[in-house]
Structure 1
Amino acid sequence: MSPRPSRSSIADTSVTNAANVIHSLQDLKQIRKQLEQDRAEAAAHEKARQEADRRARDAHRFFELAVGPVHRMRPPGTVEHEPKLPPPIPVQHQLDEQRVLLESISDDFDVSSLLETDEALSFRRPGVGPDITRRLRKGEWTLQAQLDLHGLRTDEAREALGQFLRDAQKQGKRCVRVVHGKGLGSPGKSPVLKGRVHSWLVQKNEVLAFVQARGDEGGAGALVVLLRSARKMLRNRP
C-alpha cells in the first residue's frame, strides 16, 4: 500500500492552487485592461483621422472658393491622348450627288407634247405667261452668254449644256443663247442636236422658257433661253 499523504503536504498543495488561481485572475484583469486600452487608442486614432479628413476637405473647399475650381494635375511623364473623333460625314459629297440626280437629263425624254405648236416650237413652264415667249422673240432681254455645241458628240453636248446652265445661273445671268446648229453638215442634212437640246432644256429646272433665235441671232440653228433666278431656285429647293 502506498503511504497516505500527510496533512502538511495537503495544505501546501491547497496554498499553491490558490496562488495559481489568484495569478490567473490577475492575468485576466491585465488582459482585459490591455484590450480596453487598445480599443481606446483605436477609437482615438479613428477620431483623429476623421478630424484630419474633415479639415482637409474644409481647406480644399475654402481654397476653391478663393481661387476657383481645382483639378488634379497629371503625374509627370504622362501623356494624355486626344479622343479619336468619328469620321466626318461627307455632306457636301452627298449634296453634290443629289444635285447630279436632280439635274440629270435623259435622251429618251419626249418633249413634243410640252412645246408650243408654233412655227418655232417654243417652250414655257406652267405658270409662265405667253408674254414671256413673245418678249424673248422680240429680243427684249439682253443676251448675256452663249454656248456653241457645233462639232460635239451627243454625250459631250449634253454635259457641256448642263455645265453652261449651272455656271450661267450662279453668275446671275438670266438670258443666254444655245447654238445647236442647223444640221447642214450632218448626214441627211438633218439637225441632230436640235431635238436633243429641246429635250434637255425642258428637263433642266433652271430653264423657264426658250424660243428659236431671230435670224440675226442664229435663226433655226439656235435658241434663246430664259433662266430662273438663282435666289428663287434656292428658296424652292426642298
Structure 2
Amino acid sequence: MTRRRRGLSEEERTLWATVARTAVPLRPDDAVEPEAPPAPPEIDAAMLASVPPAETTGAPAARAKPSVPPLSPIERRVLSRVARGTLGIDGRIDLHGMTQHDAHLALRAFLVSAQLRGAKTVLVITGKGFRESRGEPHLAHANLHAAHFGEQERGVLRRRVPQWLAEPGLRDIVLGFDEAHRSHGGGGALYVRLRRRREPVR
C-alpha cells in the first residue's frame, strides 16, 4: 500500500521561497573535488614478521603449579640414634602379607595419621620376601604367603614401598627414608622421616 504525499502548506511555501531567494548558486569553478583516500601500503612478509604477537585478553593466566618438595636423605647421626634407641620411633606399620593395593592404601593412611599427630620418625615393615628369609619359622611363614599370593608377590612390597614413598603425592608428608638397622628388621623395614605439618593459611 503506497502512502499519499502530503502537499506543502501555505506557511511552508513562504518559508521555502525566502530560503531560495537568499541562496547563492555554486559556480562550477568553485567546486572542490574531494581528495581520493591514499592507497594502503603493500604488506610484505618482512612487515608481518615485525609485528609483535597480539596479547590474548579475557583468558586468565595459568597459575604455576607449586613445586614438589624434594626428598632428603636421613642424616647418619639420626640413623645412629634411632638404631641405638636414643631417638624414639613414633609409630610403626607392618605391611607383611598384604596385597599391593591394600598395602598402598594402608601405608598412605598410616603416614597421614602419623603426621597429624606430630610423629617425626616411623618404621615401615615390608618383609624381606621368601627368597631372602632365613630360619624355619620364617620359611614356614613365607611359604604360607607364597602359596596364597603366588610367586610374583614374593618380596614385591620390599621393592614397591620405596617407590610409593617417593611419589609426588606423598612429598608433603615424607621428608626422607632409609633402610632400617638390623635390630628393627634390616632390609625388610624402612625408617621414614616425616615433615612437620603445615598449618592452613587463614
Normalised by the size of structure 1, how large is the TM-score? 0.42
Relative contact order, CA 8 A, sep 6+: which one is greater?
2
TM-score, normalisation: structure 2: 0.49
- Structure whose residues are more often helix by fraction: 1
